[in-house]
Amino acid sequence: MDTSKTNKAVIDIGSNSIRLVIYSYNSMQGLKELHNFKTVARLSLYIDKNGLLNERGIHLLVETLTKFKEILEDIHVTDVFVAATAAIRQAKNRDEILALVKDRIGFTINILSANQEAFFGYIAVVHSTNIPKAVTIDMGGGSTEVTYFENKKLKYSFSFPFGAVSLKAKFMYDTTMLDHDNKELIEYVKEQFLTLDWIRNLKVPIIAIGGSARNIAQVDQQRKVFPLNGVHQYELKSEDLQEISYQFTQCSLDGLKKIDGLSSDRADIIVPALETFRIFMEVVEAPSFIYSKKGLREGIILSQLIENYPGDFNVNEVTENAIRHILGKFNVKKEVALHLYNIFNEMYLTFSRWKYIDRLEHRELVRFAYELFHIGEQIDQEAASQHTFYLLTNLSIDGISNKERLKLALLASYKNKDTFKQYVNPYQNLLNDQEIKQLRDIGALLRFTKGIDVLGRSNIKHVTITRTTDIITLTFTVVGSSMLEKYQAEKLKKHIEKIVSTKVRLVFMETGENMI
């Protein structure tokens, strides 16, 4: 596996903002965003009546790109992809703009076609979520790209010639959206969407990309006092968009700027964006609206990385890769993290078959928890549980929902019943009593299995589980000495006894030579 780091930069020249993002990548630790610089340029407002980007717009573009080049030179990043979307794509003097930028700054601007823009968004989504069938929507300042994929394969894509900035210019004549203007905007957007037959009544989730979608997700989290950190894969329902729409349309521009979760530099364009999302949801008849933090820029980088590291990327192994990258950040090998997993799994399956444990619906989540169990010990041995819980509740993990991430954190950090109760207490509104008991029991089994692997290399090869009316016997077959395992297992068997509510007897059968 290649552990060398690759540094790449993307400059995204959009209709609303111009952004420079620098990434690093290696196979073990994955894609990491190192730096993110943004200028709110609103280039689409500088397109004149003849379709030309005027002198002020060109000056702003050149000034911003010059600053970005100075930054790149200062941090010694030379692998740069400069992408331009709707504003430059639609400008009739784009060839002159490209030549000017090349001459003055040395950057080659790649003008993305509408299809390319949609494709890069799709690539980012399928490599950062586990949703097999969905519609994506990426609303920029001057255009809106939509795609539809099934089994993670792209079927259709389309670009609408409007975005949040252009809709504001068309339907808002002041800083506040008036009722009749709002009705006209809704009619216009709905009419546009209905021209596209393949999005009607799809009844699949919508995955939204871009700054406007991010702000709406953040606002919803704030108004619900959502207890988990991270907005990637955050889910809203149609009634949530409706309630936020009512809140936004009642506010002045100054009022919008004060709403928690809403960026002040996006306050003047958020209403057109929100209304567009709301109408899109109606047309699609989508059951949910999910925000993806990964979008155009990540899609560009991923497309390049997939060419160079084809074995690292599989759209059907999104979460597996995310877990591998977490382990990689702490230099933990997967085979080490999974040591004795077969012993744990045998107990887990047997106890669930005997109805002592309620198995998780997400089958692989337990394995992920086993891999990450007490990963926080890499930070501090004494506070391994606390660090693990904090780490996993604050990380975005591709491919699993916020609720599943909470479950993963509770399982992987399990120490004892009291600590578990302390951790779960602030999240009672996300989990019901049955789920809490389920997680506590599985966590206790994880704690037992990981705990008996004292040196991380135990030679326990097999476990046999038998029961009578008043006792459960766990018989472990061990190659070599089992002194340490016996000692630790006797200390930890109380975790098993709480699960099964009966006495547990431990038997260690030693065979062969001592391999420890």
**pLDDT of 147-184, one tens digit each?**
999 999 999 999 999 999 999 999 987 777 788 889 99
- C-beta contacts of 221-225 below 8 A and 24+ residues apart: 221/261, 222/259, 222/260, 222/261, 223/247, 223/260, 223/261
User: Which one-letter DSSP state was computed for residue 480?
Assistant: S
Residue 243 CB coordination number (10 Å): 14
Cα separation of 450 and 194, whole Å?
Answer: 56
Contact 394, 475 (CB under 8 A): no
Strands of 30-40's sheet, edge to edge? 30-40, 17-26, 6-13, 80-84, 109-111
Q: Is-contact 375 326, C-beta < 8 A?
A: yes
Which of 454, 242, 187 has the alpha carbon at shortest distance from 340?
A: 454
Kindly tell me if the per-residue pLDDT of 3 is higher than 60: no
DSSP label at residue 426 = G
What's the token pair of residue 11? 């400059």
Token output for 121: 């968004």
Query: What's the burial of 174, exposed, middle or buried (CB within 10 Å: 0-12/13-18/19+)?
Result: exposed
What percent of the chain is modeled with pLDDT above 90? 90
As a whole number of angstroms, the distance between CA 472 and CA 286 comes to 49
The pLDDT value recorded for residue 70 is 97
Alpha helices in 75-143 (DSSP H): 86-90, 94-104, 114-126
**pLDDT grade for 515, boundaries at 50, 70 and 90:** very low
Tell me the pLDDT band of 250, cut-offs 50, 70 and 90. Answer: confident
Mean pLDDT of the chain: 94
Task: Provide mean pLDDT across the span 245-250.
Answer: 91
- The pLDDT value recorded for residue 205 is 98
Task: State residue 512's pLDDT score.
Answer: 75
| pLDDT at 2 exceeding the cut of 60 | no
Biggest distance spanned by C-alpha atoms of the chain = 87
Residue-level pLDDT at 516: 41
CB of 354 closer than 8 Å to CB of 474: no
- Strands 289-292 and 206-209, by their bridges, are parallel
Spatial distance between the Cα atoms of 110 and 113, rounded to a whole number of angstroms: 9
Q: How many CB atoms lie within 10 A of CB 314?
A: 12
Residue 396 has pLDDT above 60, yes or no: yes
Q: Which distant-in-sequence residues (6+ apart) come within 8 Å of 339 by Cβ?
A: 453, 456, 457, 458
Residue 366 or residue 252, greater confidence: 366
* Helices 433-452, 483-500: inter-axial angle, 10-degree rounding: 170
- pTM for the model stands at 0.92
Q: Is the pLDDT of residue 187 over 90?
A: yes
> How crowded is the C-beta side of 453, counted as CA atoms within 13 Å?
23
Q: What is the pLDDT of residues 88-111, one digit of tens each?
A: 999 999 999 999 999 999 999 999
Q: Collapse the DSSP code of 294 into the 3-class scheme (helix H, G, I; strand E, B; otherwise coil) and give the result.
A: coil
Q: 45-81 burial string, b = 16+ CB within 10 Å, else e?
A: bbbeeeebbeeebbebbeebbeebbeebeeeebeebb
- Three-class SS state of 467: strand
